[in-house]
Protein backbone atom coordinates (compact mmCIF):
# COMPACT_ATOMS: atom_id res chain seq x y z
CA UNK A 1 0.00 0.00 0.00
CA UNK A 2 1.54 3.28 -1.07
CA UNK A 3 2.00 5.96 1.57
CA UNK A 4 1.17 3.47 4.35
CA UNK A 5 3.18 1.39 6.77
CA UNK A 6 2.00 -1.75 8.52
CA UNK A 7 3.01 -3.11 11.92
CA UNK A 8 1.21 -5.53 14.25
CA UNK A 9 -1.99 -5.20 12.22
CA UNK A 10 -2.00 -1.40 12.39
CA UNK A 11 -1.57 0.95 9.45
CA UNK A 12 0.25 4.24 9.59
CA UNK A 13 0.07 7.11 7.15
CA UNK A 14 3.11 8.84 5.68
CA UNK A 15 3.10 12.56 4.95
CA UNK A 16 5.89 15.01 4.22
CA UNK A 17 5.85 18.66 5.27
CA UNK A 18 8.32 20.49 3.03
CA UNK A 19 8.12 23.67 5.13
CA UNK A 20 9.40 22.06 8.34
CA UNK A 21 10.83 19.66 6.73
CA UNK A 22 9.55 16.57 8.54
CA UNK A 23 7.76 13.32 7.88
CA UNK A 24 4.64 12.70 9.96
CA UNK A 25 1.66 10.43 10.18
CA UNK A 26 -0.89 8.78 12.40
CA UNK A 27 -2.28 5.33 13.01
CA UNK A 28 -5.15 5.02 10.55
CA UNK A 29 -8.48 3.21 10.72
CA UNK A 30 -8.95 3.60 14.49
CA UNK A 31 -10.72 6.40 16.37
CA UNK A 32 -7.86 7.06 18.81
CA UNK A 33 -5.46 9.76 17.66
CA UNK A 34 -1.94 8.35 17.72
CA UNK A 35 0.57 10.38 15.73
CA UNK A 36 4.31 10.32 15.10
CA UNK A 37 6.98 12.27 13.25
CA UNK A 38 10.61 12.05 12.18
CA UNK A 39 13.16 13.80 10.01
CA UNK A 40 13.82 10.88 7.64
CA UNK A 41 12.03 7.83 6.29
CA UNK A 42 13.94 5.26 8.35
CA UNK A 43 13.24 7.18 11.56
CA UNK A 44 9.57 7.51 10.59
CA UNK A 45 9.22 3.73 10.38
CA UNK A 46 10.75 3.42 13.84
CA UNK A 47 8.54 6.22 15.22
CA UNK A 48 5.43 4.51 13.80
CA UNK A 49 6.37 1.18 15.36
CA UNK A 50 7.07 2.87 18.70
CA UNK A 51 3.72 4.66 18.50
CA UNK A 52 1.91 1.35 17.96
CA UNK A 53 3.82 -0.27 20.83
CA UNK A 54 3.12 2.73 23.10
CA UNK A 55 -0.58 2.65 22.19
CA UNK A 56 -0.82 -1.06 22.99
CA UNK A 57 1.10 -0.62 26.25
CA UNK A 58 -1.10 2.33 27.30
CA UNK A 59 -4.21 0.28 26.62
CA UNK A 60 -2.78 -2.64 28.59
CA UNK A 61 -1.79 -0.48 31.56
CA UNK A 62 -5.23 1.20 31.60
CA UNK A 63 -6.94 -2.17 31.13
CA UNK A 64 -8.62 -0.93 27.93
CA UNK A 65 -9.15 -3.12 24.90
CA UNK A 66 -7.15 -1.55 22.06
CA UNK A 67 -9.06 -0.61 18.96
CA UNK A 68 -8.32 -2.76 15.95
CA UNK A 69 -8.76 -1.70 12.35
CA UNK A 70 -11.03 -3.69 10.06
CA UNK A 71 -13.17 -5.55 12.59
CA UNK A 72 -15.13 -7.11 9.75
CA UNK A 73 -18.34 -5.13 10.08
CA UNK A 74 -19.42 -1.77 8.75
CA UNK A 75 -22.62 0.21 8.41
CA UNK A 76 -23.60 1.30 4.92
CA UNK A 77 -26.44 3.64 4.00
CA UNK A 78 -27.96 2.19 0.85
CA UNK A 79 -31.13 4.13 0.28
CA UNK A 80 -34.48 2.37 0.33
CA UNK A 81 -34.60 1.44 -3.39
CA UNK A 82 -31.17 -0.21 -3.44
CA UNK A 83 -31.96 -1.92 -0.13
CA UNK A 84 -35.16 -3.35 -1.67
CA UNK A 85 -33.29 -4.60 -4.74
CA UNK A 86 -30.61 -6.27 -2.61
CA UNK A 87 -33.19 -8.04 -0.45
CA UNK A 88 -35.01 -9.33 -3.52
CA UNK A 89 -31.79 -10.45 -5.24
CA UNK A 90 -30.56 -12.21 -2.10
CA UNK A 91 -33.93 -13.94 -1.63
CA UNK A 92 -33.95 -15.07 -5.26
CA UNK A 93 -30.52 -16.65 -4.71
CA UNK A 94 -31.65 -18.30 -1.45
CA UNK A 95 -29.00 -16.28 0.34
CA UNK A 96 -28.85 -13.99 3.32
CA UNK A 97 -28.44 -10.29 2.68
CA UNK A 98 -25.04 -10.33 4.40
CA UNK A 99 -23.75 -13.25 2.30
CA UNK A 100 -25.12 -11.71 -0.91
CA UNK A 101 -23.39 -8.37 -0.23
CA UNK A 102 -20.16 -10.06 0.89
CA UNK A 103 -20.05 -12.28 -2.21
CA UNK A 104 -20.85 -9.37 -4.53
CA UNK A 105 -18.22 -7.08 -3.03
CA UNK A 106 -15.62 -9.89 -3.04
CA UNK A 107 -16.15 -10.37 -6.77
CA UNK A 108 -15.70 -6.66 -7.45
CA UNK A 109 -12.56 -6.10 -5.35
CA UNK A 110 -10.90 -9.31 -6.57
CA UNK A 111 -11.33 -8.54 -10.29
CA UNK A 112 -7.81 -8.22 -11.65
Q: What is the pLDDT of residues 10-28, one digit of tens each?
A: 999 999 999 999 999 999 9
Mean residue pLDDT of the chain comes to 95
User: How far is the C-alpha of 69 from the C-alpha of 65, rounded, in Å?
Assistant: 13
Q: How many domains does the chain have?
A: 2
- Asked whether residue 9 falls in the same domain as residue 54, the answer is yes
Domain hosting 57: range is: 4-61
pLDDT of 1 reads 59
Q: Is residue 74 part of a domain?
A: no
- Asked whether residue 52 falls in the same domain as residue 99, the answer is no
Q: Is residue 72 part of a domain?
A: no
| Omega before 40 within 30 of 0, i.e. cis | no
- Asked whether residue 95 falls in the same domain as residue 49, the answer is no
For 16, half-sphere exposure in the C-beta direction (CA atoms, 13 angstrom radius) is: 6
Cβ(61)–Cβ(47) under 8 Å?
no
Picking from 26, 43, 41, the residue whose alpha carbon sits closest to that of residue 10 is 26
Q: Is residue 73 part of a domain?
A: no
The whole-model pTM stands at 0.78
Amino acid sequence: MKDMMQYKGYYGSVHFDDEEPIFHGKIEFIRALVSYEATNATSLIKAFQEAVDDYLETCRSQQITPEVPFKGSLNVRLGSELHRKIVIAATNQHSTINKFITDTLSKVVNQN
